[in-house]
A and B are shown apart, each in its own frame.
Chain A
Amino acid sequence: MSEPSTLLSLREEALAVRRKFLRMHFEAHAGHLGTGLSDIDILVYLHKVWLAPGDQFILSKGHGASSLYATLHHFGRLSDADFATYYKDGTLLPAHPAPGALEAIPAATGSLGHGLPIAAGLAYAHKYIHQTKRRVACLVSDGECNSGSLWEAALFAGHHRLDNLTVIVDANGLQGFGRTKDVLDLEPLADKWRAFRFRCEEADGHDFSRLHEALQRPPDGAPTCVVARTVKGKGVALMENKLEWHYLPMSQEQYTRALEDLAEAESRLKQQKQS
């Protein structure tokens, strides 16, 4: 994983998923772009490297569903036919994941604060009832860390020593109607998770080698949390760190500019590969 070639290929895959993600949003005229661009690198890392057969992933920040659909489609876990229906009448892919619709998405989410309790229940059953090595990863948003049920689940996971549970906070610093530090300041966020008996590290959520370092931890009786510092809208300059891209769909001109940003990143990546 530390080999530069693996890192470069992860970055290539993430660019491909971003391109797919932008196209589906442009065609559907759908919002929630910022949140997806913020978590795509995490999703690509999890699906390409971290998740072993039998492991489960819960997207607790359900508003990131489209980035998960794009990732699953990229890795062949979502059919072309299903993927083509995104956001359309009759789809199984609404803006927030639907219950029991896709094997790769065990639980419907969208109301924040629900995914971590479910993930903790899965982890408890795998570890103590079925006594398997199956692991559960759960991606939460930083705004979601406002909710009490998330901390109830954190308390539960720490108490029950669920070392098969990994939480990743997509900490992009923006939530529905403001900056997290202005709405309900979460800091020191990593210390909060530590106080709930998680092993918690912070990492640049767009740096695959740092994500890998933080997420490869042998089980030692404590659940894992990685506070992934991310940029909302990452990879598309006009969207980066802008609250409005939680909501807005793209115009044709914005879509063109976004694709130019991705093309530029791709050519930089090619140069790095050659050198």
Chain B
Amino acid sequence: MRVDFVKAIEGVLAADPRSMFVTGDLGYSALEGVAATYGRRFLNAGVAEQNMVGVAAGLALAGMRPWVYSIAPFATYRCLEQIRNDVCLHRLPVRIAGNGGGYTYGIMGATHHALEDLAVLRALPNMRLFFPCSNDHVAGAVSQMAALDGPAYIRLAISPYTTPVAPLSEQPVTLTRQYAARRDATAPGVTIVGVGHGVQIALRALASGGLAEANVDVFGVARFPWDFAADAALLQSVAATRNVVSVEEHYADGGIGESLRAALPEARAFRILAASYSPEQRYGSPAFHLQQCGLTPEALVAAVRESLR
């Protein structure tokens, strides 16, 4: 998603002279073009994320609309109080981009994983979250963020299960995508909700035929807070199936699935597939980590079967 993000950002920087790009010393072989083109509107704040976010707040108070970029944990937890006090409490248009949501950074290890970024940020006032489902979902999110007058966060990630499935539809306001629709409106069915790039696990399950027997709607959600007035299709699906399985590369506690479960009390059953570390945690590729915590197409298929039992 990083390439798509940089491409979208170049569009924003070109279109809006108030926009700026601030990086926490990240961007090798990605941001050189932005750095060369935008002069003082590009700023490498160094490995100093608390100052980076405070500076971005100052820039925003001076009328600018900065984007702040780093690896997801460094762009969020390290400077959480600056995001809360300096950005969110002041409702400033500071847009934070965290690269490497979930286990994207794999073998780089636990310090580089981001499994609670959405949880901590979704608790903050005035904050809006974006978590694109796939590379071609990034531009739409960036464009919405660029238009906001308040704080926002985008979670950029890569799934090892990335599967090119064209969505049946995309809701223009919420960016929610529907990838599969139930065959039989009257038979028992399941609503699968993939959170951001977590939906790729469901798309792989679809593509591999694992869900062929099941009567499922598959949605990919990409934005928080919820806007169910716009997301009527998702709401109708849950009203019909009353049976939801959500999947996200993020801890269950504080995650987007948890929030969806709270928002949709009409779901009789709600299973959350989420990330975790085990006490005997070992490290490896993103796929290895997803296997370790049971975030796989096979596990999703099993959860769907079980929920229909």
Contacts and interface: CB of A to CB of B under 8 A. Distances in A.
Interface of A: 99-100, 106-111, 113-114, 116-126, 128-130, 148-149, 152-153, 155-156
Contacts of A122: 58-59, 61-62
Contact of A118 (B40, B61, B64, B91): B61
A117 B40 contact: no
B58 A117 contact: yes
Which residue, of B48, B56, B59, B62, has the highest number of chain A Cβ atoms within 10 A?
Answer: B62
A124 B56 CA distance: 10
A153 B63 contact: no
A149 B53 CA distance: 10
Nearest to A154: B51
Given A125-B64, A152-B48, 18 more contacts: A100-B90, A107-B58, A107-B61, A109-B85, A111-B85, A116-B54, A117-B51, A117-B55, A120-B54, A120-B55, A121-B54, A122-B58, A124-B55, A125-B63, A128-B40, A152-B46, A152-B51, A156-B51
13 contacts: A100-B90, A114-B86, A118-B54, A118-B61, A121-B55, A121-B61, A123-B58, A126-B62, A129-B62, A149-B48, A149-B82, A152-B50, A155-B51
Contacts of A153: 51, 54-55
B93 to A, nearest CB: 13
Given A114-B85, A125-B64, A107 B90 contact: yes
A1 B59 CA distance: 33
Which residue, of B51, B52, B61, has the highest number of chain A Cβ atoms within 10 A?
Answer: B51
A121 B66 CA distance: 11
* List of 9 A-B pairs having minimum Cβ-Cβ separation, nearest first: A121-B58, A117-B54, A125-B62, A152-B51, A121-B55, A152-B48, A149-B50, A128-B40, A118-B58
Interface of B: 20, 40-41, 43, 45-46, 48, 50-64, 81-82, 85-86, 89-91
Contacts of A121: 54-62
Contacts of A124: 43, 55, 58-59
B287 to A, nearest CB: 37
A178 to B, nearest CB: 24
A35 B174 CA distance: 49
Contacts, number: 101
Contacts of B85: 99, 108-111, 114
Nearest to B45: A156
B256 to A, nearest CB: 27
Contact of A108 (B43, B51, B89): B89
B132 to A, nearest CB: 28
A20 to B, nearest CB: 28
Nearest to A130: B62
Contacts of B20: 129
Contacts of B63: 125, 130
Nearest to B51: A152
Which residue, of A119, A123, A149, A153, has the highest number of chain B Cβ atoms within 10 A?
Answer: A149
Contacts of A152: 46, 48, 50-51
Contact of B86 (A117, A126, A155): A117
A202 B76 CA distance: 37
A126 B63 CA distance: 10
Which residue, of A111, A118, A126, has the highest number of chain B Cβ atoms within 10 A?
Answer: A118
A149 B91 contact: no
Contacts of B91: 99-100
A127 to B, nearest CB: 9
Contacts of A156: 45-46, 48, 51, 55
Contacts of A110: 85
Nearest to B94: A121
Nearest to A110: B85
Contacts of B41: 129
A121 B89 CA distance: 17
A111 B85 CA distance: 8
Contacts of B46: 152, 155-156
Nearest to A115: B54
Contact of A107 (B52, B64, B86): B86
Contacts of B54: 114, 116-118, 120-121, 149, 153
Nearest to B49: A152
Contacts of B64: 125, 129
Nearest to B64: A125
Contacts of A120: 51, 54-55, 58
A143 B46 CA distance: 25
B90 to A, nearest CB: 5
A152 B86 CA distance: 16
Given A100-B90, A108-B85, A111-B81, A119 B58 contact: yes
B253 to A, nearest CB: 26
A152 B45 CA distance: 9
A267 to B, nearest CB: 44
Contacts of B62: 121-122, 125-126, 129-130
A118 B56 CA distance: 7
A61 B45 CA distance: 23
Nearest to B47: A152
A198 to B, nearest CB: 15
